[in-house]
Amino acid sequence: MDVTHYVIPDWKVVQDYLEILEFPELKGIIFMQTACQAVQHQRGWRQYNKLRSLLKDARRDCILFANEFQQHCYLLRERGESMEKWQTRSIYNAAVWYYHHCQDRMPIVMVTEDEEAIQQYGSETEGVFVISFKVFPAVVCIRNYLDNFWPDLKAAHELWDSILQSRRERENESQESGGKEYPEHLPLEVLEAGIKSGRYIQGILNVNKHRAQMEAFVRLQGASSKDSDLVSDILIHGMKARNRSIHGDVVVVELLPKDEWKGRTAALCENDNEDKASGESSSEPMPTGRVVGILQKNWRDYVVTFPAKEEVQSQGKNAQKILVTPWDYRIPKIRISTQQAEALQDFRVVVRIDSWESTSVYPNGHFVRVLGRIRDLEGEIATILVENSISVVPFSEAQMCEMPVNTPENPWKVSPEEERERKDLRRTHLVFSIDPKGCEDVDDTLSVRTLNNGNLELGVHIADVTHFVAPNSYIDIEARTRATTYYLADRRYDMLPSILSADLCSLLGGVDRYAVSVMWELDEITYEIKKVWYGRTIIRSAYQLFYEAAQELLDGNVSIIEDIPEFKDLDEKSRQAKLEELLWAIGKLTDIARHIRAKRDRCGALELEGVEIHVQLDEKKNIHDLISRQPLEVHEMVAECMILANHWVAKKIWESFPHQALLRQHPPPHQEFFSELRECAKAKGFSIDTRSNKTLADSLGNAKDPSDPVVNRLLRSMATQAMSNALYVSTGSCAEAEFYHYGLALDKYTHFTSPIRRYPDIVVHRLLTAAVSKDKMETEENLFSSKDLEELCRHINNRNRAAQHSQKQSTELFQCMYFKDRDPETEERCISDGVIYSIRTNGVLVFIPRFGIKGAAYLKNKDGLVLSCGPDSRSEWKPGSLQRFQNKITSTTTGGDSLTFHLFDHVTVRISVQTSRCHSDTIRLEIISNKPYMIPNTELSHQSPLLLKSELVKEVTKSVEEAQLAQEVKVNTIQEEYQEYCQTKGRSLYMLLEEIRDLALLDVSNDHGT
């Protein structure tokens, strides 16, 4: 480690300035156990976990020293000595010991805010320097740490100034303000006793982003969810009842008397208009409460926007305290102290919340860093990453040094040792992959063959990532931290470096690769499983097929082989023989998959609908297309084979490690979440039975309108929204009955088939290898304990949610870019057919099949006018009123004309973009006719399921292109940076089947996943 000194921060510095210590430039930091425990006990879980993450990060030059367990460092607390003084004394004493332990060769700098400590210890030990972070009035003569050691680290100086200013403002405010805006939170011991007795209820606060000022809900958690008679969430109505809690906090709630219960607001609402909605009608009263305490503050970095110049000026000359507006509607405005408000008003900025006192209407925070300009593509993408706590730093030199080499000069080869240890399938099995076109990270292949006894052998062969990623290596720790590959609309951030993800772990055609295989012997007629084999193999994929080509072959269209490279250089005889072999394999795999699917269907497997839109871009970020899922039978064939492998691996690892296996759990949904689905189906004369997954699957299968296939899609989408989240769990932390996967109708399930892009699959590969290994002791050493695995599952579940949200938000960003530069009045693309799928008091929710968009369409505008349609069915706004019924809504003008919209009516909708300076832009829908939209004949003749592919939308990202043209000289540098960062930019970045493989019961607009 190339450092000139070691830094030991005092406990108070670690508490207040941890984010400065996170700067990668600051190296050689030694965190004392005493300081870490002070953070844990005084700053809570969130801050302590940030500190733990910093210490666990192999990329950072910092360590933990357990000074209280070292004989010569531990000091007893003296009689009458305050805890704070003892902590500082203990840390200084440990610093002196550490200096002598290093044989007095490495200077130690102890950084503290304690002026007495600086005066007492500053010159006590030669080689141990005790100084402050910055100059304080009482110690002006002391050379401070940042100014002397890091004078050029401007960002750290600015961050320190911001934090200090925030603290001073907070101290001044508490001295000046006597009145309270909110009640004080109850002490922890009172909260814990109240939860235990049942008086109070514990849960996580979820703010309704559409009514962020008025509506939040608390979902029961832990003991509260088991012991309470409540079957629904608890409504927290208004900011006062929320009592300074922020979205995501673990709160303690006291229920209000039943006569004070309120209902959810039934009206549609503009996001910027929540606080004006108090007079609108609401649904049936539901349990309502108020927050009396916060058990865990889950605060994070927030992206905010400064007020416009005129707004700052309206606050007067004394405008150092600025109210900034978070990008996330669910977060309240944050007050920060800065003199840069005018300079930063055109930028997205990161801030952190420091406190929210009972005397303050708003939380106090401080400025951290600038992200980018408002509406600049890179700035908006950076915003999405920060809002989802996604860090995408380059892979480090230490991590890349662990990677294998594969160059023309030094090509990678199968080692003789591995040839001896593995089953070699290269000459015995026809192995091939089926993936989206242009796929780089091919992590699964299939095989099927007839055995000598007449039975069949089905094989699923998965990339052996764990051969290259050793447990607890630098790259393993990085992959564990990332947990998943993040797919955005125009890019992806890989979990592993491209030498693995796109090369040596990618099962490409015609090259030797290591795999972990599951192979079943099946009855030749019934396809019943006779036996199963698990193990490490060597494969060579014969064909790298794309889905459309595989489907054409399955349908008998053999002319598609002209598009399959492996057939190009063959003579006619060889071509015919290989074609027949491949046709048989694809046909047989499809037959087997149908049998497997039918068996799961009999058990209640669900086929659900998610609104999945994939944004196709060219190299200049022009949008080629907005593509929704177009299911093919080969999609289901591949998915069924992957599900089968995941299921059998789950059984194997659980049998071998019943208390430390990683499984994928999908609990049954709450029945009350199905109420809207049942009501909507009833409007069409269908009955949906939700008592079990089997009855639900059968009901959805019968709920088909022959004249309108969109009806069944919408009903399945509503069923998806009602689902619980699927989660990773450690088998040691829950009962066997809880392993069940509701959506797939399987008693045990895991993720084994995508180790290139999912860390849970890497864990499962190690478990499976240990389960079948001859050397049990050596392989089991690398497995997680039940407790560690439980903590890892929590982290992975959190990162999965972040990946889903960021994917959805980036798709919405590009959808808005697609429509933004078009004139909705004249542009044909902005007019589309929509289907009404929900009725509200002031409008309807509409689904646009062509673009996969869901959104609100108002029937009453802000001026109080209602929508009316004339004889030509064109809409206009007139004075009148609305009357809502269960399955319809009627608009009546003062002139007596009435217009009724029913559930599942087709209407013509105009699509435009509602821009926002502080938040993300959103799609705006307006009903312009009560009749279905008829596609013009000229368009119909070339119409794809979604868009005309011949018309690419070149103008969507004009500003981005212009910026690129202006910086063409930087192109080579950028490409070099991508290689250095080892991140990939793929052409087809929303890998459709990557999600279908998991059978993700996911409507990305509603936070659900499989």
Model pLDDT for residues 357-402, shown as the tens digit of each residue: 998 889 999 988 999 999 999 999 999 999 999 988 899 898 999 9
Q: What is the dihedral of CA 324, 328, 332, 336, to 10 degrees?
A: -30
DSSP structural state of residue 507:
-
Residue pLDDT, tens place only, 68-110: 998 889 999 898 888 989 999 999 999 999 999 988 888 888 8
Stretch 815-819: mean pLDDT: 87
Cβ neighbours of 770 (radius 10 Å) = 21
Under DSSP, is residue 923 helix (H, G, I), strand (E, B) or coil? Answer: strand
Is-contact 592 698, C-beta < 8 A? Answer: no
Residue positions counted in the chain = 1010
Rounded-to-5 percentages of helix, strand, coil across the chain: 40, 25, 40
Cα–Cα distance measured from residue 581 to residue 572, given in angstroms and rounded to the nearest whole number:
14
Q: Which residue has the higher pLDDT, 1004 or 694?
A: 694
What was the pLDDT predicted at 988? Answer: 34
DSSP of 510-569: TSEEEEEEEEEEE-TTT--EEEEEEEEEEEEBSEEEEHHHHHHHHTT-GGGGGG-GGGTT
pLDDT surpasses 50 at 521: yes
Q: What is the pLDDT of residue 31?
A: 94
Q: Is the pLDDT of residue 946 over 50?
A: no
Angle between helices 83-101 and 33-56 (to 10 degrees): 60
What local confidence, expressed as pLDDT, does residue 272 receive? 38
The answer to whether residue 178 scores a pLDDT higher than 60 is: no
Amino acid at 424: D
Per-residue pLDDT, 45: 73
3-state secondary structure 728-741: EEEHHHCCHHHHCE
**Per-residue pLDDT for 113 more than 70?**
yes
* Residue at 635: amino acid letter: H
Share of the chain above pLDDT 90, in %: 50
Cβ neighbors of 688 (< 8 A, separation 6 or more) are 674, 677, 678, 681, 696, 699, 700, 703, 715, 719
Q: What is the mean pLDDT of residues 798-816?
A: 92
In the DSSP assignment, the letter for residue 666 is B
Instruction: Give the model's confidence band at 124: pLDDT under 50 very low, under 70 low, under 90 confident, else very high.
Output: confident
Question: How distant is the alpha carbon of residue 31 from its chain centre?
Answer: 31
Least confident of 77-91, 278-292, 333-347, 688-702: 278-292
Sign of CA pseudo-dihedral 54, 55, 59, 63: positive
The arrangement of strands across the sheet holding 543-546 comes to 423-424, 529-540, 512-522, 456-463, 444-450, 431-435, 543-546
Count Cβ atoms within 10 A of the Cβ of residue 144 and give its class: 0-12 exposed, 13-18 middle, 19 or more buried: middle
Residue 859 in this model has a pLDDT that exceeds 70 = yes
Strands 898-902 and 888-893: antiparallel
Average pLDDT over residues 441-445: 93
**pLDDT average, residue stretch 408-428:** 95
How sure is the predictor about 993, in pLDDT bands with cuts at 50, 70 and 90? very low
Per the structure block, which two tokens stand in for 857?
A: 């369409």
| Rounded CA separation 953/719 (Å) | 34
| Residue entry with tokens 């927290």 | 236
Residues 6+ apart with CB under 8 A from 213: 238, 239, 274, 275
Rounded to an integer, the average pLDDT of 202-214 is 91
pLDDT at 782: 83
Eight-state DSSP code of residue 282 = B
Strands 865-869 and 906-914: unpaired
Q: Which of 11-15, 517-521, 983-987 has the lowest mean pLDDT?
A: 983-987
**Structure tokens that stand for 266 in this block:** 């039934």
Instruction: State how far the Cα of 620 lies from the Cα of 377, in Å rounded to an integer.
Output: 13
Do residues 950 and 829 lie in contact, with contact meaning Cβ atoms separated by under 8 Å? no
Which CB contacts under 8 angstroms, 24+ apart, belong to 420-423? 421/536, 422/514, 422/535, 422/536, 422/537, 422/538, 423/517, 423/535, 423/536, 423/537, 423/538
What would the pLDDT profile of 872-894 be if each residue is shown by its tens digit? Answer: 778 889 999 999 988 899 999 99
Please write the tens of the pLDDT for every residue from 231-287: 678 999 999 999 999 999 999 999 999 999 998 887 787 653 333 333 345 678 899
Q: For the chain, give the longest Cα–Cα distance.
A: 95
pTM of the model: 0.80
Q: What is the mean predicted confidence (pLDDT) over 147-166?
A: 71
Q: Give the pLDDT mean for 662-673.
A: 89
- Give the mean model confidence (pLDDT) for residues 613-621: 62
Indicate the helix (H) or strand (E) that contains 58: none
pLDDT tens digits along 703-716: 898 888 888 888 88
pLDDT given for residue 1001 in this prediction: 35
Under 8 Å between Cβ of 923 and 930: no
pLDDT tens sequence across 721-746: 888 889 999 999 999 999 999 989 99
Tokens of 687: 């009955």
Q: Considering only 195-209, 443-457, 636-650, 683-697, which range has the smallest mean pLDDT?
A: 683-697
* pLDDT score of 620 more than 80: no
> Which of 312, 377, 383 is closest to 348 using CA atoms?
383
Token code pair at residue 339: 């003199």
Question: Which pLDDT belongs to residue 627?
Answer: 62
- Among 801, 804, 728, 729, residue whose Cα is nearest residue 994: 804
Please state, rounded to an integer, the average pLDDT across all residues of the chain: 83
Instruction: Tell me the torsion sign for CA atoms 591, 592, 595, 597.
Output: negative
- Euclidean distance between the first and final Cα of the chain, in Å? 44
* CB under 8 A, 24+ apart: contacts of 521-524: 521/451, 521/455, 521/456, 521/457, 522/455, 522/456, 522/457, 522/458, 522/592, 523/455, 523/456, 524/450, 524/454, 524/455, 524/456
Q: In whole angstroms, give the CA distance from residue 276 to residue 214.
A: 9
pLDDT of residue 197: 92
Amino acid at 183: P
Average pLDDT over residues 593-607: 88
Are the C-beta atoms of 257 and 228 separated by less than 8 Å? no
Alpha-carbon distance 773 to 389, whole Å? 38
Q: What are the backbone angles phi and psi of residue 358, rounded to the nearest 5°?
A: -65, -15
Residue with the bigger pLDDT between 560 and 620: it is 560
What is the pairing mode between strands 853-858 and 865-869?
A: unpaired
Task: To the nearest 10°, report the CA torsion of 553, 556, 560, 565.
Answer: 40
Where is 868: in which H helix or E strand? strand 865-869
| Residue 302: strand pairing partners | 351
Q: What HEC string does 791-819 produce? A: HHHHHHHHHHHHHHHHHHHHHHHHHHHHH
| CA-based radius of gyration for the chain | 31
Q: Are 362 and 166 in contact (CB under 8 A)?
A: no
pLDDT of residue 891: 93
The answer to whether residue 645 scores a pLDDT higher than 80 is yes
Residue 874 DSSP class: B
Mean pLDDT, rounded, for 512-531: 96
CB 849 within 8 A of CB 710: yes
